[in-house]
Structure 1
């Protein structure tokens, strides 16, 4: 009889063939993973862009309702007199320290949050306390529409974080007081300073409307992206402090403090203003560190803070108490966790991605060539002059008549 033991037998894989198959699979996985990561980041970037589009719609709907944009630096005012200055903390009033994002909340699907803020809460009056009061629930709220999915920042010492900030223009003079004095009251001298220097779409403590943007809504940045601080000594999320007068004349005065071997970080030992004073830490706070930015240095560059007194002003220099860093003036660049740049929102609602290499004129010039526009300034720093900071500065001014002839 014939044996059938060898019927249907197949030859086994050799060790060499098995190793080859494993190697091929390893190469394919190695090629696939970067593509997956890139796809995930592209999706996060698209989601971030959509958040800006929602803010753009909210600004336009707000303007349609009130014939103006939301005020950056609004709310219940400080009491007159010494000891009641706007930088003092209070549970009964917010001392006009609310960001423009607070007024926008009912216009980007946060009606319930707005109702909490606009009505009295136990222990707090309507419109809440100053934005650093951590026991007030709305200021602690993380709002998904204000966060970029690429930004991993979360938790203390921040309150509710934001990755969206208001454009404050191309000069830091009067950046945190606008046309008002220490008690939030408008004065002639302060108004003169603010008219000359506060050239962005938003001017703190002042109403602004689309009619004020004479350069055209499509040519003017109204909001931009900021990365929230991770506690890693990053140059774009914490500030180096320098003399205010020197900063007016040279916006790059902090550059020598950047670590040359790791140019996204400050050198070891550089003073950066305290653990609670960092980028994007309070969505409800109008301070430029928390919810504002300037079009002076290009995106993702260093944040530089001016110390009082600043002798270049016509108004009396502010005598800020120790620790009131949120009222000091900052060259506050926009920033992001995306590669190579950040999003900005134009006045017409368009969202653009601005690269780190955008042309920024004299922002890196020294010896006064890059001086900021202010009352008493001369040459390119005199009131009414075109922005010293090239295309980037021109995009941040609302009514300066610069011609933007190329795409960006």
Structure 2
């Protein structure tokens, strides 16, 4: 056979130009599809977050059906130790969040059994002496990273859009109890770790009724019958982000004092001068934070079992995803743990937050919700202005349980 060397030959490879064209086309397609894929994934995470809230709502309603009251905020046990209140091993010093009580009602019976019974198990794999077990209902939440339940993350309490993991927080949560539109010191008027029964103090009761305006407040358990504005008109829980160690204005509370006085009491916007002008989502380098030994955990959502307001509560004063502040001085352990701070709702979702209404409905509230006069002074927690309408517009009205307000829910 004679081979024709001058005939046409078959090409066995792409040219460089063709290869570059194919790569460019693939890059364009990926660039077009990636945002859609990311949006779909975030939509799925947002739906999962909403489902978590629905589970919490069912848990609260089942709890109420069983006990005819809501789970307590800052309730629990107390061994009578007055100081230091943060590190006792023998009680939880009245510092359990409502998320603890609903555990048996959200399919978390196993962890509830560990909490409600004495235990010798430590989180590092060791055991305590049988003569010195962890008490029933646990030790204090803060400072006890060896107590297994407190360092266990409950997935129902986590939003999948929030990437926060690990120390210094433990047992993170993205869901906080609504404390209403008063953020002064209604909860701080008593020594909260004391065994004193302030429920017998009539002046405290009167001030508490005026200042504790949300669905939850310290040392007392409300019931659905106390929600005079209607369950469908009152927020029960809201989202919060967990701190990532980046000085985010939504997750770390700046200490904001002027000459020892509290500007927060008179102007909720007063701490905005501490924001970084080049990165308004973050605090600038001049801002101070609480410096006591436990301060690394004084961040939003750091401990799900704790009812310190910065970790598990929020106020309906500033709109969602606004800055959070405290007027407790640096090193002021007791101050920052009480209600002396303005903590709003926040989330990693675009444009707003989920809220759980008293009737169990889950709604998405945008950052632009009408918040009335956000520069208005705080609702003073005294008996003289009990029942006052919220100065914080629709957002404030949603946070109060008994101000006889009928907010326009159609705008949500």
Match for residue 213 of structure 2? 199
Match for residue 128 of structure 2? none
Matched, 1:357 2:368: yes
1:300 to 305, 321, 332: 321
Match for residue 114 of structure 1? 112
Distance 1:9 1:111, change over 3 A: same
Distance 1:59 1:86, change over 3 A: farther
What does 1:45-60 correspond to in 2, within 5 Å?
Answer: 45-60=46-61
Shift of 1:35: 1.2
Aligned length: 386
**What is the rounded CA distance, in whole Å, between the counterparts of 1:359 and 1:40 in structure 2?**
29
Are the counterparts in 2 of residues 237 and 303 from structure 1 also a CA contact under 8 Å?
yes
Are the counterparts in 1 of residues 186 and 207 from structure 2 also a CA contact under 8 Å?
no
CA RMSD in angstroms comes to 2.4
1:384 to 384, 387, 401: 387
Equivalent position SS for 2:238: strand
Match for residue 403 of structure 2? 400
Shift of 1:246: 2.3
1:130 to 131, 134, 140: 140
Equivalent position SS for 2:356: strand
Matched, 1:290 2:311: yes
Deviations 1:72-109 (A, max 9, x none): 11111352xxx626944311111111000000111111
Are the counterparts in 2 of residues 59 and 70 from structure 1 also a CA contact under 8 Å?
yes
Distance 1:328 1:241, change over 3 A: farther
Shift of 1:66: 0.7
**What is the rounded CA distance, in whole Å, between the counterparts of 2:192 and 2:31 in structure 1?**
61
**What is the rounded CA distance, in whole Å, between the counterparts of 1:285 and 1:4 in structure 2?**
87
Shift of 1:12: 6.7
Match for residue 208 of structure 1? 222
Shift of 1:67: 0.7
Matched, 1:280 2:277: no
Equivalent position SS for 2:333: coil
What does 1:2-21 correspond to in 2, within 5 Å?
Answer: 9=10, 15-21=16-22
Distance 1:321 1:194, change over 3 A: farther
**What is the rounded CA distance, in whole Å, between the counterparts of 2:179 and 2:340 in structure 1?**
11
Deviations 1:308-327 (A, max 9, x none): 8xxxxxxxxxxx98433222
Shift of 1:182: 5.5
Are the counterparts in 2 of residues 168 and 175 from structure 1 also a CA contact under 8 Å?
no
Match for residue 372 of structure 1? 379
Match for residue 189 of structure 1? 203
Equivalent position SS for 1:201: coil
**What is the rounded CA distance, in whole Å, between the counterparts of 2:344 and 2:110 in structure 1?**
32
1:266 to 283, 299, 310: 283
**What is the rounded CA distance, in whole Å, between the counterparts of 1:134 and 1:176 in structure 2?**
26
Match for residue 333 of structure 2? 323
Matched, 1:155 2:176: no
Are the counterparts in 2 of residues 86 and 183 from structure 1 also a CA contact under 8 Å?
no
**What is the rounded CA distance, in whole Å, between the counterparts of 1:142 and 1:251 in structure 2?**
33
TM-score, with structure 2 as normaliser: 0.87
**What is the rounded CA distance, in whole Å, between the counterparts of 1:245 and 1:8 in structure 2?**
87
**What is the rounded CA distance, in whole Å, between the counterparts of 2:222 and 2:298 in structure 1?**
27
Distance 1:11 1:229, change over 3 A: closer
Match for residue 144 of structure 1? 155
Distance 1:206 1:177, change over 3 A: farther
Deviations 1:167-202 (A, max 9, x none): 000001345347776515212222121110111011
Equivalent position SS for 1:354: strand
**What is the rounded CA distance, in whole Å, between the counterparts of 1:141 and 1:11 in structure 2?**
60
Equivalent position SS for 2:296: coil
**What is the rounded CA distance, in whole Å, between the counterparts of 1:143 and 1:104 in structure 2?**
12
Are the counterparts in 1 of residues 206 and 383 from structure 2 also a CA contact under 8 Å?
no
Shift of 1:21: 2.7
Shift of 1:18: 3.7
TM-score, with structure 1 as normaliser: 0.88
Distance 1:61 1:38, change over 3 A: same
Distance 1:190 1:2, change over 3 A: same
Match for residue 247 of structure 1? 264
**What is the rounded CA distance, in whole Å, between the counterparts of 1:179 and 1:59 in structure 2?**
27
Equivalent position SS for 1:265: strand
Deviations 1:90-130 (A, max 9, x none): 11111111000000111111101000000011221111111
Are the counterparts in 1 of residues 274 and 286 from structure 2 also a CA contact under 8 Å?
no
Shift of 1:373: 3.6
**What is the rounded CA distance, in whole Å, between the counterparts of 2:43 and 2:193 in structure 1?**
45
**What is the rounded CA distance, in whole Å, between the counterparts of 2:357 and 2:215 in structure 1?**
10
Shift of 1:372: 2.2
